[in-house]
A and B are shown apart, each in its own frame.
Chain A
Amino acid sequence: MEQVAAGTISEPLDLVKLSLGERVFIKLRGDRTLTGNLHAYDAHMNLVLSQVEENIHIVDVGEDGTAAPPRIERRGFEMLFIRGDSVILVSPLLE
């Protein structure tokens, strides 16, 4: 138990590793956020997620240039590969 209690995180990606198999929240470029089960990742932050829900945050601009209140569009995917260059943030989804 001491050994485990003393387990160290030596690099940032170790933190992502801890979330393997867990549900994570991911922020992407283009005003998108995802939640899903993290299956795999690599050094580029390419990710494989399952049971993904994508939220796209959209602000519609009317003819006269006034912005409508932001709305959220939702999509679901069963399995998704995310290219790392669009990933902004990965965080465990804790209740």
Chain B
Amino acid sequence: MSGGFFGFNSAFPERRNDSSSQSKPPFPGFQADHVDQAFGIGQGAEEDVAVYTWGQGLDDALRDAHDDFNHETFGVDPRGLGTDFQFAAPKQTAAPSKTSGKPRGPIASTQSRYKPKPVADPFAMSEDDFYSSRVTKSVPKKPVDTKAKPSKLSSAAGGSLWNKPNVAPSQLWGTQPTSVARPEAVAPPGQVAPQTFQRPVGHIKTLEEIEAEMAGIDLEPLTHQPQLPQQPRILSLEEIEREMMTTTPIPPMSQPPPPLPPQPILPPPSLPVQSLLSPPSRPDSTPTVPLPGSGYASGHALLDSIFPQLGATPRPDLPPAHLGPASEPPLPPQPSPEELARLDALRKRVAAKIESMSRYNHTMGSSDKDYITRMQLSQLVTDDPYTSDFYAQVFSAIKRSRLAAEQADEKTAVVQIAPGAALSVSAPTESRFGKMGSKTMQRLSTQVKRLVDSRAAHKKTMDSGRFDGYVFEGRLIFLATLKGALGRVSRSGIAAPRPVLAVPVGSKPEHRPTSALNQTSGVHRPALTRKQVMYALEEMYDLVLELEQLRRTQPSPESDEMKAWDEECQLKVEEIWRRLMVMEPLDVSTPHPFIALLNAVKGQRLMPRVLRHLPHSQALTLLTLLIATYPQLDVIAHAPPPPVADASLLNKMDRVERARREAETDCFLQCVVPGMDMLISTCNLGLVAGLLNICTQKMPNLKQVASTRPGVALFTALLSRAQSLIRVPPADPNNPQPIPGPDPAEVDHWQRTFAYFLHLILPHLPELFPASVAQKAAFGPGAYLLGGEGVGEKESLEMERREAEVWGLAAALAVNAPEEEQTNLVAALRDKILHTVQGARNPVTPPFKAEMRLRNVNMFLHGLGLDASMIE
């Protein structure tokens, strides 16, 4: 989705609810702790899941070392994963009886997913190669995985193990604006207080800081996996980009090795030793028909012939009690007979299930698997992996940076198949590809490259109409690869003669007929329709994405491409600038087209991303236009109405409408206002005065603007910036040069503008406070409830925060006002101050609320050199 990604509200909230996942682990069958529930009678729904515990029968064949690929299987970071789902793990006490006397059942071939095959698979070209080829190397690499965990995670790990992955994604992208905007948008009263007016001076929050703040706010209640020393935090756009850039793609092979000949069925010399180290995990009691060309089947037959004793494993249908106990190591206390019986029944069910499933064993030979792997991988190959798999790249960048503290492993995000073709790998250090040796990687690359090449060639033949697909068998198979295996819609000629959904890809030509609007002579035009706005925004998103992508591919500064790259960026920025329509005449339409863009939540979210690319002068132009057309903004013109005391007074439509407007306002405060603040903080006094002048001139309904949260934010930012410019900081003892004060003419201009502004706003000042407005709007019994203790704590807190915003504006007015005006200011706010202070001193008021109110009032009073304690 284009809107939410960097707007930081497309949270992955699916499992944010810790408690629910705690009580219901996603894969109960894998945990010894939950094995009872998983296999219990009456849990029919779980039965199919339980099939995946096929490894159960393999007492000694499953070894700790084979945890390495758990994360691929379960999607869980293996370092956080115990071995307690391994029923054969030697010291597991969670389900002691499970390890006692189990038969070695036949193992379905799918087991290779969960447990690597013996290392010395002679058919390294097969898919299983990916799983097995590096096993022996990875075992010594990470002894911690295998040893440290069982004790740590034996029984208590039940829910937490499986919750871990839930923690991460929900934080990556922040949360809904509603939850963030409030604590963020409302500056802590202490900061806005006149003494600390330095905050907006040189330091209006940058996007990064805001993100960091968001992280701070959001992460607090969330627990994190204990393994990682570093708390997860939200990465800023820049950080993510940096991380993405640090990835070094594997250079394309200079000389792809020639296509490999069919593998001779000969065990490599190392086979005996290694297979003794790791007994084959698939003792195969069901006779398999060796498929011609099926490498696995014939290879396995060979293995059996070499090690006949390994092939002679007991039949699975032997009652488990007949086996084992004698040979087992000393057991923990025996479980009760009922438990034994239950486990026995359980085991039988599992055995039966395995039996029924094993019918399908070896229906696919290794060449088949191979074929499918290649086909699937080839679908992932693109000429621009960074763009095509953008989200995967961002995700892996985040994951990498998190892992970076522990492992400084090689960073591979993109596997280059050939120049101009690559596929991206999302899981960073622990990835399957990371485990694969470079040799395997190369072989894979060659194969996929061949496939891609031949597909391209094939496409060409098809396009030229000389398709002879059915003549050769090879061609015929090839057709199958063309039919989008991974959801790609491809047009194929004969198998599907009718073109499927004709989705044009790539750059579509901009066919824009000269608009009839061009002929209209008047300057005024009808406002953009919603559809047009949405269309424009989508195009804008595309442009911004392209530009961001371009910035990521910045060549080295010395190289020749630098200039071309620079120009390209320039062009894109200009295009974006043009599409923003900031330069349209001010009264071209109502709302102004730029404001129309900003009225959509999508457009608000886009704004910070656009602003970082615009040159300063253009950004200032944008700011000027924005302020001049501020009243046209939806968040101003249709500001959320004051809250009512009792939500039941509203009907559903009202509630939805209010919620929508509130959300819009929150989004605006979160996305647009920070950028605005940042720009204002770069203005000089003359400019600030000019902007305030625009406010007074262009806002006929200054009161209406000021009574909205975005309006308050704008005025506060302007006033505080001016104050910080006028107040010359005290001479720095370390820096003897006196800092030049502001230009007297500018100061004069400012004072005149401010006087007029104050004159306009002063009569309305008491009406700006949301609590007063709500009080006024309330009627009937609601009036009693408002401000009383009947209101929910959350609502009243929120109300106090919004009050603080307006007090902040009042304080900004106070510090800017000359002395005689300050008296008027106090007079205008007299009732409000007294009311608030009295409310705070009322013993019925909860202390936190009283404190907040006093702080609010003091924010204003301190600006005048007064304090709430002086009020009787």
Q: Which residues of A contact B (CB under 8 A)?
A: 1-11, 13-14, 17-22, 37-40, 42-44, 46, 48, 50, 78-79, 95
Given contacts A4-B579, A18-B538, contact A79 B1 (CB under 8 A): no
Tell me if A10 and B508 are in contact (CB < 8 A): yes
* Of A1, A13, A20, A42, most B-chain CB atoms within 10 Å: A1
Given contacts A50-B10, A79-B13, A95-B657, contact A7 B2 (CB under 8 A): no
Q: Tell me, in angstroms, the Cα distance from A39 to B504 when the chains sit together.
A: 21
- Chain A min CB distance to B94 (Å): 32
Tell me if B660 and A3 are in contact (CB < 8 A): no
Set of chain A residues within 8 Å of B504, measured between Cβ atoms: 10-11
- Chain B min CB distance to A33 (Å): 16
Known contacts A22-B534, A39-B4; can you find 20 more A-B pairs with CB under 8 A?
Answer: A1-B588, A1-B593, A2-B514, A3-B512, A4-B536, A5-B525, A5-B532, A7-B532, A9-B535, A10-B504, A10-B511, A17-B538, A18-B534, A20-B3, A21-B1, A39-B10, A43-B503, A46-B487, A50-B4, A79-B13
Tell me if B1 and A6 are in contact (CB < 8 A): no
Q: Which residues of B contact A (CB under 8 A)?
A: 1-4, 10-14, 16, 487, 489, 501-504, 508, 511-515, 517-518, 525, 528, 531-536, 538-539, 578-579, 581, 584, 588-589, 593, 601-602, 605, 656-657, 660
Which of B13, B535, B657 is the one whose CB lies under 8 Å from A4? Answer: B535
Set of chain A residues within 8 Å of B525, measured between Cβ atoms: 1, 5
Select from chain B the residue with minimum beta-carbon distance to A79: B14
Q: Tell me, in angstroms, the Cα distance from A17 to B578 when the chains sit together.
A: 22
Select from chain B the residue with minimum beta-carbon distance to A6: B515
- Chain B min CB distance to A71 (Å): 18
Set of chain B residues within 8 Å of A2, measured between Cβ atoms: 514-515, 517-518
Q: Tell me, in angstroms, the Cα distance from A5 to B534 when the chains sit together.
A: 11
Tell me if B517 and A5 are in contact (CB < 8 A): yes
Q: Tell me, in angstroms, the Cα distance from A53 to B4 when the chains sit together.
A: 19
Q: Tell me, in angstroms, the Cα distance from A10 to B660 when the chains sit together.
A: 31
Q: Tell me, in angstroms, the Cα distance from A17 to B538 when the chains sit together.
A: 7
What are 30 inter-chain pairs, A to B, with CB distance below 8 A?
Answer: A1-B589, A2-B517, A3-B515, A4-B533, A4-B536, A4-B581, A4-B593, A5-B515, A5-B525, A6-B513, A6-B514, A6-B517, A7-B532, A9-B535, A10-B504, A10-B508, A14-B535, A18-B534, A20-B2, A21-B605, A22-B3, A37-B4, A39-B4, A39-B10, A44-B487, A44-B489, A46-B487, A50-B4, A50-B11, A79-B13
Tell me if B511 and A21 are in contact (CB < 8 A): no
Tell me if A11 and B515 are in contact (CB < 8 A): no
Select from chain B the residue with minimum beta-carbon distance to A17: B538
Q: Is the interface of B mostly helix, strand, loop or mixed?
A: loop
Q: Tell me, in angstroms, the Cα distance from A23 to B578 when the chains sit together.
A: 28
Q: Tell me, in angstroms, the Cα distance from A43 to B656 when the chains sit together.
A: 31
Given contacts A3-B512, A5-B528, A39-B10, contact A11 B503 (CB under 8 A): yes
Tell me if A7 and B487 are in contact (CB < 8 A): no
Q: Tell me, in angstroms, the Cα distance from A90 to B151 when the chains sit together.
A: 52
Q: Tell me, in angstroms, the Cα distance from A32 to B535 when the chains sit together.
A: 29
Q: Tell me, in angstroms, the Cα distance from A93 to B16 when the chains sit together.
A: 27
Tell me if A8 and B511 are in contact (CB < 8 A): yes
Q: Tell me, in angstroms, the Cα distance from A22 to B1 when the chains sit together.
A: 10
Q: Tell me, in angstroms, the Cα distance from A18 to B536 when the chains sit together.
A: 9
Q: Tell me, in angstroms, the Cα distance from A42 to B501 when the chains sit together.
A: 11
Q: Tell me, in angstroms, the Cα distance from A37 to B489 when the chains sit together.
A: 25
Given contacts A18-B531, A22-B602, A43-B503, contact A8 B12 (CB under 8 A): no
Tell me if A78 and B535 are in contact (CB < 8 A): no
Tell me if A4 and B3 are in contact (CB < 8 A): no
Tell me if A19 and B534 are in contact (CB < 8 A): yes
Given contacts A21-B601, A38-B1, A39-B10, contact A4 B528 (CB under 8 A): yes
Given contacts A1-B525, A21-B2, contact A79 B12 (CB under 8 A): yes
Select from chain B the residue with minimum beta-carbon distance to A81: B14
Tell me if B13 and A39 are in contact (CB < 8 A): no
- Chain A min CB distance to B213 (Å): 23
Set of chain B residues within 8 Å of A38, measured between Cβ atoms: 1
- Chain B min CB distance to A87 (Å): 13
Set of chain B residues within 8 Å of A10, measured between Cβ atoms: 504, 508, 511
Set of chain B residues within 8 Å of A39, measured between Cβ atoms: 1, 4, 10
